[in-house]
Amino acid sequence: RQVTSDASFHSVSFSETDHPKVLITGGLGQLGVGLAKMLRKRFGNNNVILSDIRKPPSHVFHSGPFIYSDILDYKNLREIVVNNRITWLVHYSALLSAVGEANVALARDVNITGLHNVLDIAAEHGLRLFVPSTIGAFGPTSPRNPTPDLCVQRPRTIYGVSKVHAELMGEYYHHRYGLDFRSLRYPGIISADSQPGGGTTDYAVAIFHDAIKTGKFECNLKPDTRLPMMYIDDCLRATVEMMEAPTDTLSMRTYNINAMSFTPEELAQEVQKQLPELEVTYEIDQVRQAIADSWPMNFDDSNARNDWGWKHDYDLPELVQTMLNYIGADSR
Nearer to ligand AKB, 139 or 188 (CB): 188
172 labelled catalytic: no
Active-site pick, 68, 74, 92, 159: 159
**Other Cβ atoms within 10 Å of 55 Cβ, number:** 11
Closest CA to 59 of 85, 42, 34, 23: 34
Strands 133-134 and 260-262, by their bridges, are unpaired
Smallest gap from residue 200 Cβ to ligand AKB (A): 4
What string marks each residue from 174 to 213 as x (binds ligand AKB by CB under 6 A) or -? Answer: --------------x-------x--xxx------------
Smallest gap from residue 294 Cβ to ligand AKB (A): 12
CA dist 174 and 44 (Å) reads 29
Burial class (CB in 10 A: 0-12, 13-18, 19+), 237: middle
What string marks each residue from 18 to 47 as x (binds ligand AKB by CB under 6 A) or -? Answer: ------------------------------
- Cα three-residue angle 260-264-265, rounded to 5 degrees: 105
Smallest gap from residue 134 Cβ to ligand AKB (A): 3
**Other Cβ atoms within 10 Å of 325 Cβ, number:** 12
**Residue 324 within binding range of ligand AKB, rule CB under 6 A:** no
Smallest gap from residue 258 Cβ to ligand AKB (A): 12
Fill in the DSSP letter of residue 146. S
Closest CA to 81 of 123, 112, 116, 113: 123
CB 220 within 8 A of CB 285: yes
Window of 66-74, 132-140, 216-224, 312-320 that interacts with ligand AKB by CB under 6 A:
132-140
Strands 260-262 and 227-231, by their bridges, are antiparallel
C-alpha gyration radius of the chain: 20
**Residue 135 within binding range of ligand AKB, rule CB under 6 A:** yes
Smallest gap from residue 180 Cβ to ligand AKB (A): 23
Distances (CA, A) of 159 to 68, 118, 199, 245: 24, 17, 10, 27
CA dist 276 and 129 (Å) reads 45
Nearer to ligand AKB, 23 or 221 (CB): 221
CA dist 19 and 243 (Å) reads 13
**Residue 136 within binding range of ligand AKB, rule CB under 6 A:** yes
**Residue 256 within binding range of ligand AKB, rule CB under 6 A:** no
* Residues 67-126, interacting with ligand AKB (CB under 6 A): 96-97
Q: How many residues bind ligand AKB (CB under 6 A)?
A: 11
**Residue 134 within binding range of ligand AKB, rule CB under 6 A:** yes
Nearer to ligand AKB, 78 or 108 (CB): 108
Smallest gap from residue 201 Cβ to ligand AKB (A): 4
Catalytic residues: 159
Positions that interact with ligand AKB (CB under 6 A): 96-97, 134-136, 159, 188, 196, 199-201
